[in-house]
Structure formats: C-alpha cells, structure tokens
Chains A and B, each alone.
Chain A
C-alpha cells in the first residue's frame, strides 16, 4: 500500500505539472527536499545519539524496567505478545510518556529503540502484531499538551491560548482508544484469515 501511495504521489504530481506548466517548481522542490531530508536526518541523528545514550544509562540503572513494572497491568493488555520483563516495554513506555508531555524530540529515539527491540522479538522483516499496535497508538497522537499549537495561538494574539487543551485531550483520548479498537479488529480479521502474526 505504501508502494502505491509513494508512486501515486510522484507520478500524479509530475503529470499534473506537465499539463499545468509547474515543472520548474517540481524541479526546484525535488532538489530542495533532498537537501532538507539530509538536514532532518542529521538533526535527528544528534537527538538520537543523545537520547539513546541517556536511555541506555536508564536501562542499566533499572529505570526502564521499573517503569515497565509500574504500568504492567495496562501495557500487558495492550501488548500481550511481549514478554513481561522485556526491555521493549520500557522503551514503549518512555516513548508514550515523552509523547504525552509533547517532547517529540525525545519520543522518537525511544520509539525507534522500542521498534528495534520488537524486531528482535519477532526476528522477521514483517511488521509484528505489537509493532502495528505501537504504530497505531503513535499515529493517533498521545499529546496532552500541544505546545506548538499553543505557541502559534499566542503568536496570533489569542485571548486564551490554552483554551484548546481540554478539547485536544478529549479528541486524543477518543482517537487513541479508536486506534486500539481498530487495531484489535484488524488483528482478529488477520487471525481468522489464517495469516496471524
């Protein structure tokens, strides 16, 4: 599906540009984006190096397993196929906590590390059940305090920049719960069709 989306975006864009005379803009965008993606990767590399280093310390000091133990009842239900004291759970939880507080920069490295641990558990290049669940939770957003949005609202002179926080938390909660339900339904459909992971 991603293959199709990827090809569709590029092919339809080029065809559209051919008929509407925007090919110069497309050319410019291609080269600007190549540069931009390298810059994003580089700045992400810095963040990754720092947080993965710090998280390794947290792991060795037993903080991650402590976090995993604390939330065991909830997480065990959401990720039933990850063994109880596996480091993957600690990384999943630190990713979720960082996301909730709007620390996107710190959340990504832990999410990537969690993915790596889950890949170690499944040992295949196919997305496992817990990986799909983890992505579903992440894509539905876990933000409790949408700092970027609050900053934009301040910039444009809102009387009450944080007025949207409660509504955002409600909407986030609904979409996360929905994501989990949708994820579960797809899992049982897969299982029924005999291609369960």
Chain B
C-alpha cells in the first residue's frame, strides 16, 4: 500500500497545481532552495549530538548503565530483556532499532518479548533526535519544557505498550 502513497501524493499535487494555473516547476525550484539551507543549518546540531551519543556507546558506558538498571525490572514482573530498549529508544534511533532486531532474532518475532519489542519500537520515537533536528533547523536555543514533556511522554508510551501487550498477547 505504501508503495502507492508517495506517487499518489505527487500526482495529486501536480494535477491540482496545473488546474489552479500554478507554474509548478518554477514554484518547485523556489521551494526546494529552502531545503538546502535547512540541511546546512542542521549539520552542527546533528553532528554534535551524534558524536556525544557515539562516545557514550562505544566506551561501553551505555551497556554498564543498562546492566545496572536490569535488576529493577524484576520488581515489575516485566521481562528484563526489554529494558535496554525502553532506555535507549528516546536517545538513539539506530541503537534502538538494533536492540529491537536483536530481541526479535533471539526470542522470535511471535514470542512475548518479540511482540513487546515490536510494539515499543513502533509506538515511540527518538525524542532526542527529533528535538535536535527540529529545534536545530530553525535555531531555537532555549527549548523550554520540550525535553521534559517528550521524555515523560516516552515513559507513558513505554508503560502503555507493556500493559497493552500483556493484555493482548500475555
């Protein structure tokens, strides 16, 4: 289905523009230029954040933190294997995707942990990346409560996916 989605959007936009007598190609080029500008202004923010996360990960500190928190889960009767994913999801999208893949590979996609990892991966997003990219691109320096709101929402999303998967598959 999603194979049709993008071409359909392009088709609708171009046909509507022609009907409305918009000089499509000229407008396209004019609008596109802004894309280069945004991409260039994005690089420092993205590079800075990615390097910091990479240092943390490559040093092994991330694994150390994860193993520290592991015993906590036994308190909540949630499989401890899922915890690394819950912790990493808001920080790094690529790391989260590799943890999810690893969990699905190890326990099987249709196991409880496999289902839980799938739902958790799909129902949350990388808060730190989104904030970095969106605020970086327009030069917002004081971000107010954005990070707190985003991280709290992540927490709710993670708890919600655990509860829902227990109800539906548990």
List residues of A whose CB falls within 8 A of some B CB: 1-2, 5-7, 9-10, 12-14, 16-17, 20, 22-23, 25-26, 28-30, 32-34, 36-38, 40-42, 44-45, 47-63, 101-103, 106, 108-109, 111-113, 115-116, 119, 125-127, 131-132, 134-136, 138-141, 143, 145-149, 152-153, 156-161, 163-164, 166-168, 170-172, 174-176, 178-179, 182-183, 186-187, 190, 197
Q: Is the CB of A22 within 8 A of B59?
A: yes
Given A57-B28, A101-B5, A125-B141, A175 contacting B110 (CB threshold 8 A): no
Of A30, A167, A190, which contacts B119 at CB under 8 A? A167
Does B143 reach chain A (CB closer than 8 Å)? yes
Across the interface, name the chain B residue whose C-beta is closest to A148.
B97
Does B71 reach chain A (CB closer than 8 Å)? no
Query: A196–B49 Cα gap in the complex (Å)?
Result: 28
Q: Is the CB of B115 within 8 A of A45?
A: no
Q: Interface readout for B97-134 with A: 1 if CB under 8 Å, 0 if not?
A: 10011001100111000110011111111111011111
Please provide the 4 A-B residue pairs with the shortest distance between their CB atoms, ordered closest to farther. A56-B31, A146-B122, A175-B157, A48-B35
Chain A residues near B139 (CB-CB < 8 A): 119, 125
Q: Is the CB of A9 within 8 A of B53?
A: yes
A/B pair count, beta carbons within 8 Å: 351
Q: In whole Å, how far is B18's beta carbon from the nearest beta carbon of chain A?
A: 9
Chain A residues near B126 (CB-CB < 8 A): 139
Of B100, B110, B135, B154, which contacts A127 at CB under 8 A? B135
Interface of A is mostly: helix
Q: Is the CB of B115 within 8 A of A197?
A: no
Chain B residues near A52 (CB-CB < 8 A): 31-32, 34-35, 38
Interface of B is mostly: helix
Q: Is the CB of B61 within 8 A of A152?
A: no
Chain A residues near B59 (CB-CB < 8 A): 13-14, 16-17, 20, 22-23, 25-26
Q: In whole Å, how far is A95's beta carbon from the nearest beta carbon of chain B?
A: 10
Q: Is the CB of A136 within 8 A of B22?
A: no
Does B77 reach chain A (CB closer than 8 Å)? no
Given A54-B13, A132-B145, A146-B122, A26 contacting B35 (CB threshold 8 A): no
Q: Which of A60, A119, A164 has the most CB of B within 10 A?
A: A164
Query: A146–B51 Cα gap in the complex (Å)?
Result: 28
